[in-house]
Amino acid sequence: MNGTLRAVTDEHGDGAAIISVRGIVNRFGRQTVHDGVDLDLYRGEVLGVVGGSGTGKSVLLRTIVGLNRPQAGEISLFGQPVSAMSDEERRRVGQRWGVLFQDGALFSALTVAQNIQVPMREHLRMPQRLMDELAALKIAMVGLPPEAGAKFPSELSGGMRKRAGLARALALDPEVVFLDEPTAGLDPIGAAAFDALIAELRDRIGLSVFMVTHDLDSLTTVCNRIAVLAEKRVLVTGDMDTMLANDHPWVREYFHGPRARAALASSGEQTQPAQAGTAYPEKADPEKAD
């Protein structure tokens, strides 16, 4: 391995890809959403996945966690190809990650503590008392007050619901969490606090994070690497400097637009205005994405 490659690898924690996606194709009817998606998630990194609305970020997440079956391609989880796994192996792998879906998806009829216990009931057999203790632990871990455990989702603020969703994603002490736009709908202070929490979990317990986001502040403050979904595939991956140097029109518009300039200025990165008159294949304004 030459020096340059080694330097790049070193940025990926211990260099091990714990999730590898190769040549994924996803079609719904006549619509091709993915046509050869390649992507790796390395241990101990926060990977930010960006792309215009409808480019298939959520479908990619659902494909990796096994909720959507692709038409072609291969996914390796913790070094093992999914196609070679038995159902039991596949189920056990599912215990090694947690997911926070785009719509939050807490069960409205269950309290926060009961929501957190859903994956525990699904995968583990343990006494209620222990589950209550574990739920309290997760609630504290995500910075919710202890009394939040007895509340129903409708009794929480949006930011608290996100934290409760994260607590549920952390229920089984996963190595990886998948977060689908975790800071969407939060005010900037709430979003920054959520990002700080993710960074802390990465740094303290070595959590690896696959984070779909439109949030440029998240990309600049917490993500180690960024992957851009465009033109039905992962167009480019790399750090912020790689994004800033990329010439693709969507990438330029996204990372050099006014919002990006504001986010990057506050983080000390340099950027230039987007070129006028470029054609943009997908929406680039994160606020208008939904």
Ligand X SMILES: Nc1ncnc2c1ncn2[C@@H]1O[C@H](COP(=O)(O)OP(=O)(O)OP(=O)(O)O)[C@@H](O)[C@H]1O
Interface ranges with ligand X (CB under 6 A): 28, 33, 51, 53-59, 102, 289-290
Q: In the chain, where does DSSP find H-type helix? A: 3-10, 57-64, 87-93, 112-123, 128-141, 158-169, 188-205, 216-221, 240-245, 249-256, 258-267
236 DSSP β-pair partners = 228
**What is the nearest approach in angstroms of Mg ion to the Cβ of residue 183?**
13
Residue number with CB closer to ligand X (187 or 290): 290
Residue number with CB closer to Mg ion (61 or 116): 61
Query: 100 contacts which partner out of Mg ion, ligand X, none, CB within 5 to 8 A by kind?
Result: none
Query: 54 contacts which partner out of ligand X, Mg ion, none, CB within 5 to 8 A by kind?
Result: ligand X
**What is the nearest approach in angstroms of Mg ion to the Cβ of residue 284?**
16
Q: What is the distance between the alpha carbons of residues 207 and 200, in angstroms, rounded to a whole number?
A: 9
Query: 56 contacts which partner out of ligand X, Mg ion, none, CB within 5 to 8 A by kind?
Result: ligand X
CA nearest 17: which of 249, 232, 176? Answer: 176
Residues 97-156 that bind Mg ion (CB under 5 A): 102
**What is the nearest approach in angstroms of Mg ion to the Cβ of residue 5?**
33
Q: What is the distance between the alpha carbons of residues 168 and 163, in angstroms, rounded to a whole number?
A: 9
Told to check if 58 binds Mg ion by CB under 5 A, we report yes
Query: 53 contacts which partner out of ligand X, Mg ion, none, CB within 5 to 8 A by kind?
Result: ligand X
Query: 55 contacts which partner out of ligand X, Mg ion, none, CB within 5 to 8 A by kind?
Result: ligand X
Q: What is the distance between the alpha carbons of residues 102 and 117, in angstroms, rounded to a whole number?
A: 20
Tell me which stretch binds Mg ion (CB under 5 A): 57-65, 82-90, 156-164, 221-229.
57-65
Q: 176-180 and 97-100: which strand pairing?
A: parallel
Q: Whats the size of the chain, residue-wise?
A: 290
Q: What is the distance between the alpha carbons of residues 130 and 189, in angstroms, rounded to a whole number?
A: 34
Residues that bind Mg ion (CB under 5 A): 57-58, 102
